Chain A
Amino acid sequence: MSNHCDHLIDYFNGQLSDEEKRSFEEHLTTCGDCREELRELQELTDDLGFISEPIEPPSALKEKVLEAAFNERTPNDMREDDDKVRSFTTDQESQSSVVVPKNRKKLGWVVPSLAAALLLSLVGNGYAFSQLSTQEEVAPEEITPVESISVDSLAQQLSLQPSEENIPFEARASIVNKDQYQQLIVEANQLTQTEDTQVYQVWLLKEGDPYRAGTFTPAEDGSGMSTFDIDPEMGFDTIAITIEPDETSEVPEGEIVLLEEL
């Protein structure tokens, strides 16, 4: 037990100076007791906010809050400024350029504070992320044929549901194991035709960071398809399709037509 251990309550209640806070966070990395006590405090106070007597916020607050929020720069805005480099291609059948994510400049907001990182590993109070879609077992004959002489295998196949019920939309995503990489194949039907320069853009996300993963425009019958080579090491967790104003969007700007966990 060191003097630092006496700072736990003030740390939890945000009463330490910046210097004291840094010092306590350093202490947390070596003091199992404090980590455990901090975790316990979090757990024991988890629901205490629910004791509040329900009060309706003023109706005008919503607009005010949303406007204030949208005036702020978001991580997406910052990324847009940050990397204009990733290449794009657009065509109806295929595009292939291995996604090698650009080594992004580390942004301050991405880096969790030491304490947060610790809590991440510590709190783990049994909450399991609800699986939004389960991986389907697919018979081999259903595998989308991929021209090759190498032996491909299907890593995952998903039926993709539109994000709004009123959008008629049918899509399927297949991830195919190739020799050194994986290929993402997205097939869609009943697509709404795009206007002017609009395109359908496929995104793969990792912890909320979007990566371009295929661009297409629908054929006359409303069908569309894109293929994209991906780095299996990336560990993407989500797939999304948006309608973008044109094929150059580096981050999603347009309407999200589909969103599904991988």
Chain B
Amino acid sequence: MSERDAKTYVRLKLGDKEALAQLYDQYSKLLYSFSFKMINDQQVAEEIVQEVFIKIWTQKSSYDETKGKFSSWLLTITRNTVIDYLRKRKETASEMVTKEMNQDLEPSIEDQIEWKEKRTTIDQAIKRLKPEQEKVIVLFYYQGLSQQKIADACEIPLGTVKGRIRLALRHLKDTIEDIEQNGGIIHE
């Protein structure tokens, strides 16, 4: 958490409305984009963002430094909110496919640069996974499906789902680290 975020968050906990507005300005685009990625519906993504900011404001979800990075915490709340929404609506998440990279990112703000860098890295790393590993990550993380549904979709025994997920995620992490260390050069 940057010093700026830390101060803003303490002010928010004191009931400073301006602090919530600041967090909105800073993170709404990321949370909206992530919601949209998971749910592929603009209107629902708006509802999710609203729900997330209500959770932050009312401190139904409360951050402290043991929960890791502030942005990761916000993404986790967003993801949980999407999953709750999907469960309630009994819908399945839209088919997520790694979409074409949008080259027209606006690198104007520091956060957006960081986002763009991470996005490029993760995107490259996912593309380097075996298709079945990519699929398991998409079903598990981006669609938040149950173990049974993942087993059905991948046509694998229920008992092997957890192992596959962990293996795929570890592989992804290693690949991300590899890309970060080698400046994104793909040795293929």
Could you list which residues of chain A lie within 8 angstroms of chain B, going by C-beta atoms?
6, 8-10, 13-15, 37, 40-58, 61-62, 64-66, 68-70, 72-76, 109, 112, 119-121, 123-125, 127-130, 132, 163, 203, 205, 207-208, 210, 238, 240, 242, 251-253, 256, 259, 261
Contacts and interface: CB of A to CB of B under 8 A. Distances in A.
Interface string B108-142: 00001001101100110010000000000100111
What 6 A-B pairs have minimum CB-CB distances, sorted nearest first?
Answer: A49-B75, A208-B13, A50-B118, A57-B32, A52-B33, A69-B57
Contact of A259 (B7, B36, B45, B58): B7
B102 interface: yes
Contact of B147 (A14, A15, A37): A15
A49 B170 contact: no
A125 to B, nearest CB: 6
B28 A75 contact: no
A53 B46 CA distance: 16
Given A70-B20, A208-B14, 6 more contacts: A49-B72, A52-B30, A69-B50, A130-B1, A208-B10, A238-B10
Nearest to B83: A14
B105 interface: yes
Contacts of B106: 54
A55 B33 contact: yes
Contacts of B17: 66, 70
A54 B119 CA distance: 10
B140 A54 contact: no
Interface of B: 1-3, 6-7, 10-11, 13-17, 20-21, 24-25, 28-30, 32-34, 36-37, 45-46, 49-50, 53-54, 56-60, 62, 64-69, 72, 75-76, 78-80, 83-84, 87, 98-99, 101-102, 105-106, 112, 115-116, 118-119, 122-123, 126, 137, 140-142, 144-147, 150, 158-159, 161-162, 165-166, 169-170, 172-173, 176
25 contacts: A9-B165, A14-B83, A14-B144, A42-B76, A44-B169, A44-B170, A44-B172, A45-B141, A49-B78, A52-B30, A55-B33, A55-B36, A57-B29, A58-B46, A61-B32, A62-B25, A65-B53, A66-B24, A68-B50, A69-B20, A70-B17, A127-B69, A130-B3, A208-B13, A261-B6
B158 to A, nearest CB: 8
Nearest to B15: A76
A52 B172 contact: no
